[in-house]
Every structure is written in C-alpha cells, then in structure tokens.
Amino acid sequence: MITIQNLSYASMIENTNVSFQIGLNYIYGKNGSGKSTFLDCLSGIIHNYSGTITGNDDLIYMNQNLYFSMKLKVKDYVQFVLTLDRVKHTYNDYFAYIESIGLKTFLDEAWNSEVSMLSGGERRKLFFVTMCYLDREWYVFDEPFAGVDDEGKQLLTTILERLVDSKKGVLFTSHERIQFENMNSTMYTLENKQIYAPFEQKQTAISNH
C-alpha cells in the first residue's frame, strides 16, 4: 500500500492525505490539475515536497516523455531498458511475454525498424508493454490512454488486468473518466489541489445536497 500524509508541493498540491491499495487505481483530473506533478512526487522524481510518502520504494513510473533517439531501432530500446533493469531477464522471456499479450507480429515486424517509423500510438504501446514487463510492486503511468486508439486501449487494459491479477499495484492518471468492464478499479479525483478518495467524494456529494 502506498500511503501519503500531508503532502504539499509548490502551489499545486496542498495537504493531501490518501492511500492506494494493491490493485487498479486511477486519478481523474482535468488538464492542468496537477496529476503529473503528483505522480512526480509519488515516484520520488520530486523530492522537495512536504509531508510523507511510504510504500513507494519498488515502483516504475512511465511519464509522457521518454529519452530515446527516434533514429535508433526498436531492438535498441528493448536492449537499453532490459540492461538498465539489471538484466534479470532474457530476451526469450521478453518475447514469450510479448507473444502472450498478442504482440508477437507487431514486434517481429518492428524489431529492426527505427523508432521514428512507428506511429505515436505504436511507440506508446512499445514503451508501455516493455515497462510492464519489468518486475515491480507498483506500476505508475501518466495518461497512458491519451492518444491511443480503441484497439490500443483494449491492449493496455488487458495488460493492466494481468498486472492486477498478479497482485501488483497500478496507479495511473487520466483526464477522461474510464470504465473497466472486467476489473474493479478505484477512482480518485484530483481537484482544488487535493486528491479525494471515492468515500470522500460520496461524502462531499451528500454534504452538497
């Protein structure tokens, strides 16, 4: 469980208390509401916040921009990520995983292509599935569904389901409300510089009446 107590950062997040359980969690918020900043704090990219965050020691965080040359090949990207992650894995394991999520044809065709030859959605798909292959307790994604077509969204959902089935924690942000058909998810809302849990939202709604 990730627990956040009295988190404040700059003028974007104020005195937020929230906890995320293992399973599927997502934070809904309008554009510019501070979702990315919150994930930066949670993943340890931003240190100089006030308050405490615990349970975030073993996570991977995929933000919207990645350092990678468009002129390099897809295989260079995979090699880089696997090497950076201490190479507990072999390529055979990686390919077996890719096959299990139905992306073997995609990866076979793209393997020797330059990353620039992939469409924006394909690049996002490649980065997303490779990050999900790595073994972590928590997976944190910033707007993973943005700019992805319906087929791509279905694939990402399938991968998220697998992570949840493996007792992993998933936390992502979205500026759209998302319904999952086969999975329980907990939606949080980020507004007015604070994150509200579902119960708090209901309570707020009742108190508004």
Partner 1 sequence: MNVIQAYYILNMKILLKEKLPLLWSTALPVIFLFINGQYVQDTMFLNYFWAIIIFACYIFGVGLQAVRLREAGLLKTYFSMNPSRMLFFISLVLTQMTSAFISMVILNSIAALFFPVSFVEAMLYSTLLIFLALPVAFLSANLTMLHKSSYQTLSTVIAIIFFISLFTLTFEHMINYVNPLVYLSQILFMQGAFEYLVYVIGSALCIITGVYSLRNYRVNSIMRR
CA-based torsion, 148, 151, 152, 154: positive or negative: positive
Q: Which helix (H) or strand (E) holds 208?
A: helix 198-208
Binding positions for partner 1, 128-157, rule CB under 8 A: 131, 134, 140
44 is a contact residue toward partner 1 (CB under 8 A): yes
Closest approach of partner 1 to the CB of residue 161, in Å: 22
* 142 vs 147: CA distance, rounded Å: 12
Q: How far is the CB of 159 from partner 1 (least distance, A)?
A: 16
89 binds partner 1 (CB under 8 A): no
Q: Does 2 bind partner 1 (CB under 8 A)?
A: no
Q: Which residues contact 83 (CB under 8 A, 6 or more apart)?
A: none
- Map the footprint of partner 1 across residues 98-127, applying CB under 8 A: none
Per CB under 8 A, does 63 bind partner 1? yes
Binding status of residue 43 toward partner 1 by CB under 8 A? yes
Task: Report the DSSP beta bridge partners of residue 172.
Answer: 26, 141
Q: Is 4 in the site for partner 1 (CB under 8 A)?
A: no
Q: Which residues here bind partner 1, judged by CB under 8 A?
A: 36-37, 40, 43-47, 59-63, 65-69, 71-72, 76, 79-81, 83-87, 131, 134, 140
